[in-house]
Amino acid sequence: MNALVVYESMFGNTRAIARAIGEGIAGSGSGIEAMARNVADTDPDALEVDLLVVGGPTHMRRMTSPRTREMRARSGAKAPGSWATDKEHWESAVLVGVREWLARLPRAPEGGQAAAFDTRLAYVPVVGAGPQIVLGLRSRGYRVDERPRCFFVESPQGPLRPGEHERAVAWGAALGLRLSQKFLPSA
Protein backbone atom coordinates (compact mmCIF):
# COMPACT_ATOMS: atom_id res chain seq x y z
CA MET A 1 0.00 0.00 0.00
CA ASN A 2 1.09 3.56 -0.55
CA ALA A 3 0.07 7.08 0.33
CA LEU A 4 0.78 10.42 -1.24
CA VAL A 5 0.63 13.73 0.63
CA VAL A 6 0.20 16.53 -1.90
CA TYR A 7 0.74 20.05 -0.61
CA GLU A 8 0.93 23.68 -1.58
CA SER A 9 3.36 25.81 0.42
CA MET A 10 4.85 29.26 -0.01
CA PHE A 11 6.88 29.74 3.16
CA GLY A 12 7.62 26.10 4.02
CA ASN A 13 5.10 25.65 6.84
CA THR A 14 2.58 23.53 4.94
CA ARG A 15 5.46 21.59 3.40
CA ALA A 16 6.76 20.80 6.90
CA ILE A 17 3.32 19.58 7.98
CA ALA A 18 2.93 17.47 4.81
CA ARG A 19 6.30 15.82 5.41
CA ALA A 20 5.38 15.17 9.05
CA ILE A 21 2.10 13.55 7.99
CA GLY A 22 4.01 11.36 5.52
CA GLU A 23 6.50 10.49 8.25
CA GLY A 24 3.62 9.46 10.51
CA ILE A 25 1.97 7.32 7.84
CA ALA A 26 5.24 5.55 7.01
CA GLY A 27 6.14 5.11 10.68
CA SER A 28 2.73 3.79 11.74
CA GLY A 29 3.81 0.15 11.55
CA SER A 30 1.19 -0.42 8.86
CA GLY A 31 3.67 -1.13 6.08
CA ILE A 32 2.38 1.77 4.03
CA GLU A 33 4.94 3.70 2.00
CA ALA A 34 4.35 7.45 2.02
CA MET A 35 5.73 10.41 0.12
CA ALA A 36 5.07 14.16 0.31
CA ARG A 37 5.13 16.11 -2.95
CA ASN A 38 4.56 19.70 -3.95
CA VAL A 39 1.36 20.20 -5.92
CA ALA A 40 3.32 21.90 -8.72
CA ASP A 41 5.43 18.74 -9.14
CA THR A 42 2.58 16.22 -9.02
CA ASP A 43 0.72 15.11 -12.12
CA PRO A 44 -2.87 14.41 -11.02
CA ASP A 45 -3.33 12.07 -14.00
CA ALA A 46 -0.53 9.77 -12.82
CA LEU A 47 -1.78 8.99 -9.31
CA GLU A 48 -1.79 5.37 -8.22
CA VAL A 49 -2.22 5.54 -4.46
CA ASP A 50 -4.27 3.87 -1.75
CA LEU A 51 -4.52 7.09 0.25
CA LEU A 52 -4.38 10.65 -1.05
CA VAL A 53 -3.84 13.41 1.50
CA VAL A 54 -4.12 16.99 0.22
CA GLY A 55 -3.28 20.18 2.07
CA GLY A 56 -2.64 23.85 1.62
CA PRO A 57 -2.40 27.15 3.41
CA THR A 58 -5.41 29.27 4.25
CA HIS A 59 -5.46 32.66 2.52
CA MET A 60 -8.24 35.13 3.20
CA ARG A 61 -10.22 32.45 5.07
CA ARG A 62 -10.17 29.88 2.25
CA MET A 63 -8.13 27.98 -0.30
CA THR A 64 -5.55 30.03 -2.13
CA SER A 65 -6.13 31.55 -5.55
CA PRO A 66 -3.61 32.96 -8.02
CA ARG A 67 -4.41 36.45 -6.68
CA THR A 68 -3.96 35.57 -2.99
CA ARG A 69 -0.78 33.61 -3.73
CA GLU A 70 0.69 36.58 -5.57
CA MET A 71 -0.25 38.92 -2.72
CA ARG A 72 1.27 36.54 -0.15
CA ALA A 73 4.42 36.03 -2.21
CA ARG A 74 4.98 39.76 -2.50
CA SER A 75 4.32 40.37 1.20
CA GLY A 76 6.64 37.55 2.23
CA ALA A 77 9.43 38.33 -0.20
CA LYS A 78 11.38 39.97 2.61
CA ALA A 79 10.69 37.27 5.21
CA PRO A 80 14.00 35.90 6.52
CA GLY A 81 14.65 32.37 5.31
CA SER A 82 11.59 32.39 3.07
CA TRP A 83 11.90 30.69 -0.29
CA ALA A 84 9.55 33.38 -1.60
CA THR A 85 12.73 35.43 -2.03
CA ASP A 86 13.53 33.17 -4.97
CA LYS A 87 11.57 34.71 -7.87
CA GLU A 88 11.34 31.42 -9.77
CA HIS A 89 9.70 29.68 -6.80
CA TRP A 90 7.14 32.32 -6.07
CA GLU A 91 6.21 32.62 -9.73
CA SER A 92 5.48 28.87 -9.87
CA ALA A 93 3.60 29.13 -6.55
CA VAL A 94 1.39 31.83 -8.03
CA LEU A 95 0.55 29.65 -11.03
CA VAL A 96 -0.21 26.29 -9.42
CA GLY A 97 -2.08 25.71 -6.21
CA VAL A 98 -4.30 23.06 -4.69
CA ARG A 99 -7.40 24.72 -6.20
CA GLU A 100 -6.08 24.34 -9.76
CA TRP A 101 -4.68 20.87 -9.04
CA LEU A 102 -8.02 19.59 -7.72
CA ALA A 103 -9.74 20.95 -10.84
CA ARG A 104 -7.47 18.70 -12.94
CA LEU A 105 -7.76 15.64 -10.67
CA PRO A 106 -9.46 12.73 -12.48
CA ARG A 107 -12.22 10.66 -10.90
CA ALA A 108 -11.12 8.55 -7.95
CA PRO A 109 -10.46 4.89 -8.49
CA GLU A 110 -12.97 2.51 -6.90
CA GLY A 111 -12.65 2.84 -3.13
CA GLY A 112 -10.35 5.88 -3.39
CA GLN A 113 -9.56 7.16 0.11
CA ALA A 114 -8.51 10.72 0.90
CA ALA A 115 -7.95 13.17 3.72
CA ALA A 116 -7.38 16.93 3.86
CA PHE A 117 -5.54 19.46 5.99
CA ASP A 118 -4.71 23.13 6.07
CA THR A 119 -2.38 25.53 7.82
CA ARG A 120 -3.70 28.74 9.32
CA LEU A 121 -3.26 31.40 11.95
CA ALA A 122 -4.54 30.22 15.32
CA TYR A 123 -5.91 33.55 16.46
CA VAL A 124 -8.10 34.30 13.41
CA PRO A 125 -11.50 32.56 13.38
CA VAL A 126 -11.83 31.17 9.86
CA VAL A 127 -13.36 28.30 7.98
CA GLY A 128 -10.01 27.61 6.33
CA ALA A 129 -8.84 25.83 3.20
CA GLY A 130 -9.46 22.31 4.52
CA PRO A 131 -13.24 22.16 4.03
CA GLN A 132 -12.87 23.39 0.45
CA ILE A 133 -10.23 20.73 -0.19
CA VAL A 134 -12.63 18.08 1.14
CA LEU A 135 -15.33 19.33 -1.24
CA GLY A 136 -12.89 19.16 -4.14
CA LEU A 137 -11.86 15.60 -3.27
CA ARG A 138 -15.46 14.45 -2.82
CA SER A 139 -16.47 16.05 -6.13
CA ARG A 140 -13.89 13.76 -7.74
CA GLY A 141 -15.34 10.68 -6.04
CA TYR A 142 -12.84 10.28 -3.18
CA ARG A 143 -14.11 9.02 0.14
CA VAL A 144 -13.14 11.43 2.91
CA ASP A 145 -14.08 9.86 6.25
CA GLU A 146 -13.17 12.66 8.61
CA ARG A 147 -13.09 16.40 8.97
CA PRO A 148 -9.99 18.15 7.68
CA ARG A 149 -7.24 18.79 10.18
CA CYS A 150 -5.86 22.25 10.71
CA PHE A 151 -2.34 23.02 11.85
CA PHE A 152 -1.35 26.40 13.20
CA VAL A 153 1.34 28.93 12.32
CA GLU A 154 2.47 31.93 14.38
CA SER A 155 2.30 34.38 11.46
CA PRO A 156 1.55 34.14 7.72
CA GLN A 157 5.24 33.43 7.08
CA GLY A 158 5.55 31.06 10.05
CA PRO A 159 6.95 29.41 11.99
CA LEU A 160 4.70 26.56 12.99
CA ARG A 161 3.33 26.78 16.51
CA PRO A 162 5.10 24.52 19.01
CA GLY A 163 3.78 20.96 18.92
CA GLU A 164 2.26 21.12 15.43
CA HIS A 165 4.92 18.88 13.88
CA GLU A 166 4.21 16.22 16.49
CA ARG A 167 0.44 16.55 15.97
CA ALA A 168 0.95 16.05 12.23
CA VAL A 169 3.08 12.93 12.76
CA ALA A 170 0.43 11.50 15.11
CA TRP A 171 -2.37 12.21 12.65
CA GLY A 172 -0.39 10.62 9.83
CA ALA A 173 0.17 7.51 11.96
CA ALA A 174 -3.57 7.31 12.70
CA LEU A 175 -4.38 7.65 8.98
CA GLY A 176 -1.89 4.88 8.15
CA LEU A 177 -3.31 2.50 10.74
CA ARG A 178 -6.89 3.18 9.68
CA LEU A 179 -6.05 2.55 6.04
CA SER A 180 -4.18 -0.69 6.79
CA GLN A 181 -7.14 -1.99 8.82
CA LYS A 182 -9.46 -1.46 5.84
CA PHE A 183 -7.29 -3.80 3.79
CA LEU A 184 -6.83 -6.55 6.38
CA PRO A 185 -8.14 -9.90 5.20
CA SER A 186 -11.33 -11.08 6.92
CA ALA A 187 -10.97 -13.95 9.38
Burial of 125 (0-12, 13-18, 19+ CB in 10 A): exposed
pLDDT on residue 127: 78
- 91 within a domain of the structure (yes/no): yes
Is residue 158 included in any domain, yes or no? Answer: yes
Tell me how far apart the alpha carbons of residues 121 and 80 are, in angstroms, rounded to a whole number: 19
Q: Which domain holds residue 35?
A: 2-182
Residue at 187 is within a domain: no
> What's the DSSP call for residue 41?
G
Is residue 168 classed as helix, strand or coil in its secondary structure?
helix
Would the CA dihedral through 116, 121, 122, 128 be positive or negative? negative
> pLDDT value at position 165?
98
Q: What is the CATH number of the domain that holds 96?
A: 3.40.50.360
What total number of domains does the chain contain?
A: 1
Q: What type of residue is 100?
A: E
Spatial distance between the Cα atoms of 4 and 37, rounded to a whole number of angstroms? 7
**AA letter at 148:** P
What whole-number distance in Å separates Cα of residue 76 and Cα of residue 73? 5
Asked, for residue 146, whether it belongs to a domain, the answer is yes
Contact between residue 7 and residue 15 where contact means Cβ atoms under 8 Å apart: yes
Angle between helices 13-26 and 164-182 (to 10 degrees): 40
Asked, for residue 174, whether it belongs to a domain, the answer is yes
Across the 187 residues of the chain, what is the mean pLDDT of every consecutive 10-residue run?
92 93 93 93 93 89 74 60 50 72 95 95 81 96 94 89 98 93 57
3-state secondary structure of 71: helix
The pLDDT value given to residue 92: 52
- Assess if residue 68 is contained within a domain: yes
